[in-house]
Chains A and B, each alone.
Chain A
Amino acid sequence: MKTSPTAVARAMMAAGAHREAEVVLHGVLARDPQEAECRAAMGRLDRGEPMPPGPATEPTLEIVDEWIREGMLVEALAVLAAGDLGGPASEWADLLGELLAPVPAHAEGAFVEMHRQLLRGGASVALTILEDRLRQGPVPAWAERRLELLRWMLLDNARSAPASQAPAGEAPTELAAALRAGLAERSVEAMRERARAFAEAHPGDADAADAVRVLELLAGEMASLDEADFLGAQTVPVMGRPAAAMQLRMANLEGAKSIYGKLASKQPGGEVQALADAVRGLLRLLEGRPIVDRSFPPPPKEPRSLEVELGIAPAFADKTALDEAAARLAAGAGAESTKVVENPLAPFDEETRVLETPAEELPREAGSGGPARFEDDTRPVSEDELPLDAFREDRTVEIPIPQDLADGDADGDVDDDKPTQRFDRSQVEAAMAKAGAASPSSGSPAQSSASPPAAGSLSEPSAPASGPITAPSEAPPAESASSSRPPGGDAEDEAAKDFRDTDRIDDVRSLWPRPETDIREDSADDDPTMLSPETAVRHDEGSPLAEPDVEPGAELGSAPPSPAPLPAADTDVVVQRIQRIGEEEA
C-alpha cells in the first residue's frame, strides 16, 4: 500500500521538522496540484493554523526507498533532511542533494527542463531528456554525473528492489509463474525471454503465444523510443509515450498502464491503444487470466487494435451474398448480359457535343446580332395590366389611429394591460364582402398591404398575418375592435378600410413571384404598391407611433413583421378571392 505523504508530513510536523514537512507537501502539490489532502493541509499551514488531524506515519528508510523509486525525489530528500534515519540515509541525502541541485544560471534548455522535471516528479522524463541530450553531443561533467545518478536510482535500484508489482499469492498457471519470474527481475525483456521459452515448451498454448506477441510489442516500443531523437525535434518529452516507456524499462506495469490508458483515452485507436491493451493483457496473464477469453465464440464486433496486432481479429467472409449472386448471374443461362463500360472509372462522363444546327438558322433579335429572347419587352402594355391604383390619391385610404394607441405611453410601448385588438372572423369577412362589393380596388391588397406598419391599425394586420383568423373564443369582444374606428361611421365600411387582408396573405404567398432582392432594389417611387408620402398616415409628434426607432410589430411581441407589398400581378388574385368570399357570404 502506498504511503501517504500527508501522513508522513503530519508525523514530521509533530516531531518539529516544520520546514521539511512543508517541503513534502510542496513536492506533492508540484507533482499533482489537485491533490486534495495536501492542498487542504498546505492551505491551513499558510494561514498559520496546524495541519488538519489525521493519520500520521513515521518516516522510515523504506518509505524513502519507495518514494525514490516512484520519482518522488523532493519528498524523499525532505524526509532525509528532517532527521537521521540511520544506515545509508546520510549517503542518500547527499546523492539526492547532488541530483536535485539547480543547474547553472545560464544552462541550456534541456538541462533546465531536466531540473524542472526532477522537482515535479518527472524523474523518468528527466532521465530520458539527459539520455537524449547525451546522444546529441558531449555534456558537462556534472550532467553526466546526474545521468549516472538517475540511472542508478531509477533503474539499478528498481531492478534490485523486490518485485512488489507481482500479484500476491501463488501463480495460478505455469505461464503466470514464468512471467512473474521475469517481472521479479524488473525487466520486460526478461519477461519476454521467459515467455518465449514457455511458448517453445508449450507450442499449443495460445496464451503463451499471446504473451510473446504482447511482450515483443512492448519491448519494441521501448527500443524505438530509445532511438528517438526528441531534442533534435525541438520538443521536450514532458509526458506521453517516453514516460510510459520509462515505466516499462523499470517494469512498472501499473505505471505504464496508467500513462498509456490516459494517452489512449485522448487518442483512441492506433499504436497507443495497442500498447495500452498490451499492458492490460500482460497484467491479466500475470493474474492467470488469458488476454482473450476463448471459451465463447467472439461476438461480431469491430476489431480492436490489440486483436489486430495479435492476429486474432475476426476476419471478413471471403464472399458476400452479393458476390455469390453475381457469380450465379454470370454463370447462369438466360442471365442478362451486363453492358461493358469501356471506362470503368468514369462511366457516366458526359461528352460535349457540337450543335449541328447552323447558327444562321437561330432567330435573332431585331437590331442586334444576338439570338432573340422569348419575352418581347417592346410590346405596349395596357393600363389595365398596370397596378396604378396606388397612384390615385382619390382611392387611397387614410388609416385612422386607434384612440387607445394614440393615447398610449409616451415611449411608444404598447400598454401590456390593454388587450391587443383583434377582429372577429364574422366582422372581417363581412368587411371584406363589403369592400369587394363596393370597389375592388379600394380594398385591394396591393394598396392595403403596402400601408406602413406604424399605421393606426397597428395591431390588426399583425395578429392575423401569422395565420388564420383568431378564433372567437380568443378574440376580445367586437365592441373593443369597433372602438378603434372613428366614431360616427359605418362599422363595416370602416372595418373594410382598416382591415388589411393579411389574414389571407398566407393563401397567396406561395404565388410570390419576385425574389426579395428585387423588392429591396425597388425604390418607393417605382413601386406602385408603396404608399406615397402624401397618403401615408401622419402622426403627431407626441404620438408614440411617431417615434422613428420604435418597431411597432416588435412592440406587440407576438406579432411578426408586416408582410412585404404584393406585386401587382397578385393583387388580382387576392381581389378575386375577396370578391368570392363576399359573394359566398351574400
Chain B
Amino acid sequence: MTASRPPAPGWTPPPATEADGRALVLYVDVDDQSWRTSSQRLRRAYRLLRAESDREACELIRTYGDDMVAVLLDIDLPGSVLDGILLTRILRRKVPAQALPPFARNLPSLDVPIVLVTERPESYSEVELRRYGGDRVMAKPVDIGRVTLAVTEWHLRR
C-alpha cells in the first residue's frame, strides 16, 4: 500500500440509528469536545451510546448491556459519585453490594472489555488498573484503531 496503490474506498458512515446494526459501545464522558472527536472516529464501525454521569451510565447498562461489545469510561467523572475506576470495579463485581449507591445496585454483569480513557494516561499504572478490572488505558480522544485493537486483544486472550 504505497503511494502508487489505489486509494482506500471512501465512506461516509450514516448517522447512528436504533436499527443500524453496528456494534454497540457505551462511552461515558463528560467532555463534549472529546466526545465529538471520538465519536466521529468510532462511528465508522461502532454505534455509540453516550452517558455523562455515573447514574446515566448505570441506566444504559441496565437497558442495553446485552448488546454492548465494549465500554469506554473516562476516569474522571466530575459531578458523579463514582469515577471511572470505581465504576469499573462495580461492573467487574469487585465491590460489595452494601457499599454501592442505590442506582448502582443489581447491575447486569458485563463480559466485555472495559477501556479507561483519560487525558493523562501516564499518571496511571496499567497494571494497577487491570487489577481493578480494566483492560486498557487510552489517551483522549480515542481512535478506532486502538479501540479495535483493545477489543481484539480481549477476544484473543479468551
Write the chain B residue with the least CB distance to A143. Answer: B21
Complex CA–CA separation, A87 to B155 (angstroms): 29
Complex CA–CA separation, A7 to B133 (angstroms): 31
Q: Is the CB of A97 within 8 A of B153?
A: no
If the complex has contacts A94-B44, A142-B45, are A23 and B1 also in contact, measured as CB distance less than 8 A?
A: no
Interface residues of A in 62-77 (CB under 8 A from B): 64-65, 68, 74, 77
Write the chain A residue with the least CB distance to B45. Answer: A101
Q: Does A92 contact B (CB under 8 A)?
A: yes
Complex CA–CA separation, A427 to B134 (angstroms): 94
Q: Does A512 contact B (CB under 8 A)?
A: no
Q: Does A35 contact B (CB under 8 A)?
A: no
Q: Could you jot down 30 A-B contacts, CB within 8 Å?
A: A19-B153, A23-B152, A23-B153, A26-B153, A26-B156, A64-B1, A77-B145, A88-B3, A94-B44, A94-B145, A96-B145, A97-B143, A97-B144, A97-B145, A98-B44, A100-B148, A101-B23, A101-B144, A101-B151, A104-B69, A105-B24, A105-B67, A105-B68, A107-B21, A140-B20, A141-B13, A141-B14, A142-B21, A145-B44, A149-B8
Q: Is the CB of B143 within 8 A of A30?
A: no
Q: Is the CB of A157 within 8 A of B45?
A: no
**Chain A residues positioned under 8 Å from B1 (CB to CB):** 61, 64-65, 68, 88, 92, 157
Q: Does A81 contact B (CB under 8 A)?
A: yes
Q: Is the CB of B153 within 8 A of A93?
A: no
Interface residues of B in 5-57 (CB under 8 A from A): 5-6, 8-9, 11, 13-14, 20-24, 41, 44-46
Main secondary structure of the interface of B (DSSP, over half): mixed
Q: Does A469 contact B (CB under 8 A)?
A: no
Q: Is the CB of B6 within 8 A of A149?
A: no
Tell me the minimal C-beta distance from B94 to chain A in angstroms. Answer: 22
Complex CA–CA separation, A31 to B143 (angstroms): 26
Complex CA–CA separation, A27 to B153 (angstroms): 9
Q: Is the CB of B149 within 8 A of A104?
A: no
Interface centre among A20, A64, A145 (most CB of B within 10 A): A145
Q: Is the CB of B143 within 8 A of A94?
A: yes
Q: Is the CB of A102 within 8 A of B155?
A: yes
B-binding residues in A (CB < 8 A): 19-20, 22-23, 26-27, 30, 61, 64-65, 68, 74, 77-78, 80-81, 87-88, 91-98, 100-107, 119, 140-142, 145, 148-149, 152, 156-157, 160-161
Q: Is the CB of A119 within 8 A of B145?
A: no
Q: How large is the interface on B (under 10, 10 to 19, 20 to 34, 35 or more residues)?
A: 35 or more
Q: Is the CB of A140 within 8 A of B21?
A: yes
Complex CA–CA separation, A275 to B2 (angstroms): 33
Q: Is the CB of A74 within 8 A of B152?
A: yes
If the complex has contacts A88-B1, A119-B155, are A152 and B145 also in contact, measured as CB distance less than 8 A?
A: no
If the complex has contacts A100-B152, A119-B156, are A105 and B23 also in contact, measured as CB distance less than 8 A?
A: yes
**Chain A residues positioned under 8 Å from B68 (CB to CB):** 105
Q: Is the CB of A160 within 8 A of B69?
A: no
How many CB-defined contacts (below 8 Å) exist between A and B?
121
**Chain B residues positioned under 8 Å from A30 (CB to CB):** 156
Q: Is the CB of A27 within 8 A of B156?
A: yes
Q: Is the CB of B156 within 8 A of A97?
A: no
**Chain B residues positioned under 8 Å from A20 (CB to CB):** 149
Q: Is the CB of B152 within 8 A of A160?
A: no
**Chain A residues positioned under 8 Å from B152 (CB to CB):** 23, 74, 77, 100, 119
Q: Is the CB of A105 within 8 A of B69?
A: yes
Complex CA–CA separation, A476 to B35 (angstroms): 103
Q: Is the CB of B46 within 8 A of A101?
A: yes
Q: Is the CB of B146 within 8 A of A152?
A: no
Interface string of B103-130 (1 = CB under 8 A from A): 0000000000000000000000010000
**Chain B residues positioned under 8 Å from A106 (CB to CB):** 67
If the complex has contacts A30-B156, A119-B152, are A104 and B21 also in contact, measured as CB distance less than 8 A?
A: yes
Q: Is the CB of A97 within 8 A of B23?
A: no
Tell me the minimal C-beta distance from A112 to chain B in angstroms. Answer: 11
Complex CA–CA separation, A459 to B6 (angstroms): 95
Q: Is the CB of A81 within 8 A of B156?
A: no
Interface string of B76-115 (1 = CB under 8 A from A): 0000000000000000000000000000000000000000
**Chain A residues positioned under 8 Å from B11 (CB to CB):** 145, 148
If the complex has contacts A77-B145, A142-B45, A160-B4, are A149 and B9 also in contact, measured as CB distance less than 8 A?
A: yes
The 3 closest A-B pairs by CB, nearest first: A101-B45, A93-B145, A97-B145
Write the chain A residue with the least CB distance to B6. Answer: A156
Interface string of B132-158 (1 = CB under 8 A from A): 000010000001111111011101110
Q: Is the CB of A148 within 8 A of B143?
A: no
Write the chain B residue with the least CB distance to A159. Answer: B6
Q: Does B66 contact A (CB under 8 A)?
A: yes
**Chain B residues positioned under 8 Å from A107 (CB to CB):** 21
Q: Is the CB of A104 within 8 A of B22?
A: yes
If the complex has contacts A77-B148, A104-B21, are A97 and B45 also in contact, measured as CB distance less than 8 A?
A: yes
**Chain A residues positioned under 8 Å from B143 (CB to CB):** 93-94, 97
Complex CA–CA separation, A258 to B37 (angstroms): 45
Q: Is the CB of B21 within 8 A of A97?
A: no
Tell me the minimal C-beta distance from B67 to chain A in angstroms. Answer: 5
If the complex has contacts A94-B144, A96-B148, A97-B146, are A148 and B22 also in contact, measured as CB distance less than 8 A?
A: no
Tell me the minimal C-beta distance from B144 to chain A in angstroms. Answer: 4
Tell me the minimal C-beta distance from A82 to chain B in angstroms. Answer: 9
Complex CA–CA separation, A424 to B35 (angstroms): 107
Known: A30-B156, A98-B45. 6 other contacts (CB 8 A): A19-B153, A93-B143, A141-B20, A152-B9, A156-B5, A160-B5
